[in-house]
């Protein structure tokens, strides 16, 4: 037999609810991580200035990281080598948005830092020509990754 649809009720139960941010960034990404990434992205296109600490007038790579995290109450030194010794060391396979990625020169000395933003991308104050920009996280070979934010 048949039953008219108007005389029935359909119910769907999900095994687990996800927020839109969890769908967008992954289940393990916290709100603070999303906020850090969104805040950092506002400054794409702004200038690179060696030693700078102004997100609008110019920053270098470690100055950019310093300024972004300062907004969230995390104090960092203004030097990429020193920043690499803050937080908890993690592997590239453990990267989550908001984690720091460090790069080295040909002699193996850390000389650059960026913020991982998810989807295999990093935001960083690159150089005087391109300023603050987004790149693939492995545009150079990462030598160290560090977690500053809570899980």
- Say how far residue 46 (Cα) sits from the centre of its chain: 17
Task: Give the residue among 151, 136, 116 at the shortest CA–CA distance from 41.
Answer: 116
Kind and range of the H or E run holding 82: helix 80-83
Query: For tokens 């289940």, what's the residue?
Result: 27
User: How buried is residue 19: exposed, middle or buried, by Cβ count under 10 Å (0-12/13-18/19+)?
Assistant: exposed
Residue positions annotated with a catalytic role = 61, 112, 124
* 3 state SS of 9: coil
Q: Where are the beta strands (DSSP E) in 19-107?
A: 53-54, 58-59, 88-90, 100-104
């Amino acid at each position: 037999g048949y039953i008219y649809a108007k005389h029935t009720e359909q119910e769907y139960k999900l095994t687990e609810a996800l927020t839109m941010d969890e769908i967008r960034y992954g289940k393990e990404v916290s709100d603070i991580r999303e906020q850090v990434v969104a805040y950092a992205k506002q400054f794409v296109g702004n200038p690179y200035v060696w030693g700078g600490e102004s997100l609008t007038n110019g920053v270098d790579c470690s100055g950019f990281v310093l300024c972004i995290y300062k907004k969230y109450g995390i104090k960092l030194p203004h030097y990429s080598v020193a920043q690499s010794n803050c937080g908890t060391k993690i592997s590239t396979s453990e990267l989550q948005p908001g984690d720091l990625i460090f790069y080295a020169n040909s002699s193996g000395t850390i000389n650059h830092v960026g913020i991982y933003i998810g989807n295999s991308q990093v935001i960083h104050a690159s150089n005087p020509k391109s300023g603050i920009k987004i790149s693939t996280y492995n545009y150079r070979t990462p030598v160290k990754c560090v977690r500053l934010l809570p899980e």
